[in-house]
A and B are shown apart, each in its own frame.
Chain A
Amino acid sequence: MIAAGHYGYWITVVLMVTGLYIVIARCNLVKKMVGLSIFQTSVYLLYIAPGKLVGGTAPIIAEGFRLYSNPLPHVLILTAIVVGVATLALGLAIVVRIREAYGSIEEDEILESDRARGDGGGDGA
């Protein structure tokens, strides 16, 4: 019962691990950004889900309002969504530039192309 009652957390955990796995396992730079987005989205859920009470209303001090949901997590996550969008936009912009510079968005091909050129820009690795 307890495990089922916490399904919001289970969804959060599954999304979190899925996103992180995509970031690590995929070579495609755009797919990595997708994974990163899923990973960040799971955090929105982590904040919002516990803020909601079943039957809770907005915190209004008046007759008939007894059970309040916490509005603060929603506000925090609005900010976090903005951050997430900015990160995604910037990440994709960098991917576009990488495509222009390397002609590929596959990580292994890009690293290979750098190694093949080996223009001695001080890369000792």
Chain B
Amino acid sequence: MTFAQLPALEVVVPLVAAPLTLLLRRATPAWAIATAACAFSFVAALLLAADVAARGPISYALGSWAPPWGIEYRVDALSAFVLVLVSGIAAAVAPFAWKSVAAELPRDQAYLFYTMYCLCVAGLLGMTITGDAFNLFVFMEIASLSSYVLIALGRDRRALLASYQYLILGTIGATFFVIGVGLLYLMTGTLNLADMAARLPQVHGARPVLAALAFITVGVSLKLALFPLHLWLPNAYTYAPSAVTAFLAATATKVSVYVLLRFYFSVFGPRLVVEELPMPEILLALSIIAIVTASLVALWQADLKRLFAYSSVAQIGYITLGISMASRDGLTAAIVHLFNHGVTKGALFLLVGGIALRAGRAGFDRVRGLARAMPLTSMGIVIAGLSLIGVPGTAGFISKWYLVLGAIEAGRWWLAALVVATSLIAVAYVWRFVESAYLSAPAAATPKPGEPPALMLVPAWLLVAACVWFGLETSFTVEGARRAAALLLGAAP
């Protein structure tokens, strides 16, 4: 039955699509293949998620080499959840990319965009699905290298510098990660994550294990843009092509969060990370700084893309805040927010991409009075913005709700208050858009007014609808996250 091969196909289809798009050398067929591959991955991820929910984790031995010797693909409650997010966003951004890429990239380079896009999707899906530490590193580099290229494709020359800086920091991050994996391999003699987790208690507390934890924490934190290591993110998101910003903002950092969760809870185990080491305190402090400072910095940005990039740093802070609680509600909040924020930011950056297409760029000077020329786009940004704030009835509310629950459960009322208070900063920066788009007179010369093409507007609005849908109907997100959180905490030795 081909269904048994789904875990491999999930990654292989976009991976094979990449060289195909390269061989075609024409933008339109390349786009069609990339879109089809992403849609296939999304359907496969949904089937896998349904299968995991019904029958428990799937273990797939690549090339029929049984784990721990061969590479294992492992789909459990957490990875299935992240797979759905990544492939779903990929499937939404791919149709959007056609017009957007045609407008922002030179014609002869457009097909290369889809090659890199497919590689990036394959890399991120591979990072999520694999159960092998070194395989994870290889996929991480596939995803990273392709995302450096994607960012460098931006029109502005500063995109090149942003890409270079991301390349340096990303490579340092990935190398730190592989140093940590190497130390773990030296101590346990295995690269299979489950096998590693089973053997680590034998060398509990050994110094190389602690060093490995430190290296992996710093390496992955660079990738997920945890507060002091986020410096690559604002420039990369601002100058990258719109479709790239939307895709990376919604998925890349989220997959890194997944890797961190996987190593903290499934490999090292909460006993070492949470009880014996002060990791929760460190994460808590960094998350709070990230939330407060990045939200405040976002307030002063003159460009919508840059504003939402800083808001991403803050929102990642909420996710790591949930992780730092290391309780069931805290982890549920982190995982739900990982999903909800991915959907929300994906929607926002797609809509901002529409503005960039019609108005040249997405500076606030171009947004003035935009609501009249682009009512659907403006309304979409407002709705997704409400989700970013966490207004009841939107996806963002669900994550903030569980975050507050987790804080109260831990007896930290001040933290609950802080989560609510910092949401007010989000109100302020979303209000800046409302004021500019709805309440200001249009700028004298707005080039090419009007909505972006349907192929760009429809995917964006699908994600906006998802923001509302997941705020009302939480059976998939909250139940999925609860199962994943239980899995992470239950896997403790």
Contact = CB atoms under 8 A, between A and B. Distances in A.
Interface of A: 16, 20, 23, 29, 32, 36, 39-40, 43, 46-47, 50, 73, 76, 79-80, 83, 86-87, 90-91, 94-95, 97-98, 101-102, 110, 114, 120-125
Contacts of A97: 152, 160
A124 B301 contact: yes
Contact of A114 (B148, B158, B361): B158
Interface of B: 134, 137-138, 141, 145, 148-149, 152, 156-158, 160-161, 163-164, 167-168, 171-172, 175, 178-179, 182-183, 185-186, 191, 234, 238-239, 300-306, 361-363
A82 to B, nearest CB: 9
Instruction: Indicate the member of B145, B152, B171, B362 with the most A CB atoms within 10 Å.
Output: B171
18 contacts: A23-B172, A29-B164, A36-B171, A46-B179, A46-B182, A46-B183, A76-B191, A98-B157, A98-B160, A110-B161, A121-B158, A121-B239, A121-B303, A122-B303, A122-B305, A123-B302, A123-B303, A125-B234
A50 B186 contact: yes
Nearest to B364: A122
B145 A87 contact: yes
Given A90-B167, A122-B361, A39 B306 contact: no
A22 to B, nearest CB: 11
Contacts of B171: 36, 40, 87, 91
Contacts of A95: 164
A43 B152 contact: no
A90 B171 CA distance: 12
B160 A23 contact: no
Nearest to A102: B157
B179 A87 contact: no
B164 A101 contact: no
A93 B338 CA distance: 34
Contacts of B158: 114, 121, 123
Nearest to B298: A124
Given A40-B171, A124-B303, A94 B182 contact: no
B168 A23 contact: yes
Q: Which 5 A-B pairs have the closest CB atoms?
A: A122-B303, A101-B157, A83-B141, A124-B301, A122-B363
Nearest to A98: B160
B134 A32 contact: no
Contact of B168 (A32, A73, A101): A32
Contacts of B157: 98, 101-102
Contacts of B238: 121-123
B300 A124 contact: yes
A43 B141 contact: no
Given A95-B164, A101-B157, 14 more contacts: A36-B171, A39-B175, A40-B171, A50-B186, A87-B171, A90-B149, A91-B167, A94-B164, A94-B167, A98-B164, A121-B156, A122-B301, A123-B158, A124-B303
B364 to A, nearest CB: 8
Contacts of B141: 83, 86-87
Contacts of B361: 121-122
Nearest to B178: A43
B178 A122 contact: no
Contacts of A114: 158, 161
B164 A122 contact: no
Given A120-B363, A124-B300, A79 B168 contact: no
A101 B137 CA distance: 32
Nearest to B303: A122
Given A40-B175, A90-B148, A97-B152, A124 B306 contact: yes
B293 to A, nearest CB: 13
A86 B145 contact: yes
Nearest to B156: A121
A5 B347 CA distance: 57
A47 B184 CA distance: 11
A79 B158 CA distance: 32
Contacts of B303: 121-124
Instruction: Indicate the member of B138, B164, B362 with the most A CB atoms within 10 Å.
Output: B164
A86 B138 CA distance: 12
Contacts of B305: 122
Given A83-B141, A122-B303, A122-B306, A94 B175 contact: no
